Chains A and B, each alone.
Chain A
Amino acid sequence: MKKKITVQICTGTNCYVFGGANLLDLEKNLPSEVKEKVEVKGATCLGFCKDKKYGKAPFVLVEDELVSEADVHKVIKKVMQYVDKVVD
């Protein structure tokens, strides 16, 4: 198991204008006990917006799992599902 949970925020145009801009401060909103276990990264367009089957922007990848119409609340919820799996 990896040490840290990787969160990739899509910074493509579409994701950004549909609310991705608010996700860029995700790290500040993470519960303090989780912060050290998570690595928040930006990514150039992940390409999910080009296929409707993935849902709507903004998109965030938590590890390999896609979160569509992502907001801070949804992403933190997904991150918390992984937290327990991380070996300290």
Chain B
Amino acid sequence: MNNDTNLFIEVASSQKIKSGESISGDTCIISSNDSKNRITLILSDGLGSGIKAAVLSSLTTSMALRLFQNCGDCVSVTETIMKTLPVCSVRKISYATFTMVEIQEKRLVRVVEYDNPPIVVFRGGDLIEKEKQYFKFEHPILGEQKFSYMEFELQLGDRLICFSDGVTQSGMGERKYNFGWQWENAVLYISEVISSDPDVSARDLSDKIISKAWANDVFQAKDDITCACVYCRKPRKLLVVTGPPYDEQKDSYIAYVLKNYPGKKIICGGTTANIIARELGKEIKVDINDRSDDLPPIAYMEGVDLVTEGVITLSKLFRRLESLNQVSMQGVLRPSNLIDKMALLFLHSDVICFLVGTRINEMHQNPDLPVELDIRRNIVRRIKEILERRFLKEVQIEFV
């Protein structure tokens, strides 16, 4: 078992829908099991585009996810899926292709590929080739079918990148890439991105790859463009201190934790900010002109990345996170907006620690309040759940 807290598996996916379609025919699911020791990523490309392709690829991903998570034998699971999938009666090809990546205990990687562009593996800045095993079986309609399987040990700095053929075929027919961008050029591009930014996150890398493919198509995607990246990295940490401690004697503790925390820092709450400023001898400046989204203005404190109001801001953050999904973040979040800026700080972190003061502000329970204010710890619990379930973050909460 590898419970190394210095390792974090970041998984992110990005997507552009084929121009003129309202729904993507590619589906990408990223999921972790309840005990969080197994991450599964499945990218499926449905035949054609639009609703029909979307139904086929979501059918494939949900079936594959269920089977891979509950059955250890990848090879027999893959055969079962391939035999179950519907077949196009005209073209005699399967209705959906897929790539499955599974990471156990932050160490063992297993990859099954069926007809998608080959997965790309980078160790640091170098493309590495892992040996694949090929399996063949007789399909009742399609005849002989082939899929590949590989497994290897994940190391710090490893990246796995998979994409649909909308990436490799992007730009087809355009002057620059007559035959499409192709796998080799995509790999070259990935290599350039990594060498110019060796710590590039999975999120940014997948966003960059689809943006490039979209540009190849002159910003009118000719097919659904989907990319998913896995990055085994040292965790980027974020501390969120919110609420005054129940016991005033703990005031110095929250200030101490914040001061010594090795990562980004957010304070949510005016009283909390006052306590920390007092304990650390810092000054707080509120900029009344810097406000957005009907929220109280933000404040500034040396050594802290963001200082905001407490419960209203956290409630809005929760609703914003709820409105996002794993593949639709690119271009949606605007750093000029406070909640989006905050959401980006969360999404660009891997391990998020909440230090939650449990002293109840009695005024927040006033029935005359024009808005409903939820209890802080409940909002934080909901944020934790969505960050873990939807964005695969590691979230810890300490109540003080």
Residues of A whose CB lies within 8 Å of any CB of B are: 9, 11-14, 16-18, 20-21, 24, 40-45, 47, 49-50, 57
Are B371's CB and A17's CB within 8 A? Answer: yes
Are A13's CB and B286's CB within 8 A? Answer: no
CB B244 to nearest CB in A, in angstroms, measures 10
Q: Pick the 5 closest A-B CB pairs, nearest first.
A: A42-B286, A45-B270, A44-B270, A42-B288, A12-B270
Question: Which one of B284, B361, B362 contacts A44 once the chains associate, using CB atoms below 8 Å?
Answer: B284
CB B13 to nearest CB in A, in angstroms, measures 36
Are B271's CB and A45's CB within 8 A? Answer: yes
Given contacts A17-B370, A21-B294, A44-B299, contact A12 B271 (CB under 8 A): yes
Are B286's CB and A47's CB within 8 A? Answer: no
Say yes or no: is B320 at the interface (Cβ < 8 Å to chain A): no
Known: A11-B297, A13-B270, A43-B286. 20 other contacts (CB 8 A): A11-B286, A11-B296, A11-B299, A12-B296, A12-B309, A13-B269, A14-B366, A16-B296, A17-B369, A17-B370, A17-B373, A21-B294, A42-B288, A42-B299, A44-B270, A44-B271, A44-B274, A44-B307, A50-B361, A50-B363
List B contacts of A50 (CB < 8 A): 361-363
List A contacts of B180 (CB < 8 A): none
A-facing residues in B243-300 (Cβ within 8 Å): 269-271, 273-274, 284, 286-288, 291, 294, 296-297, 299
A21 to B309, CA, bound (A): 12
A-B contact pairs, 27 of them (CB 8 A): A11-B297, A11-B299, A12-B270, A12-B271, A12-B296, A12-B309, A13-B270, A13-B296, A13-B311, A13-B364, A17-B312, A17-B371, A17-B373, A18-B369, A18-B370, A21-B296, A24-B288, A41-B286, A41-B288, A42-B286, A42-B287, A42-B297, A42-B299, A44-B273, A44-B274, A47-B271, A57-B363
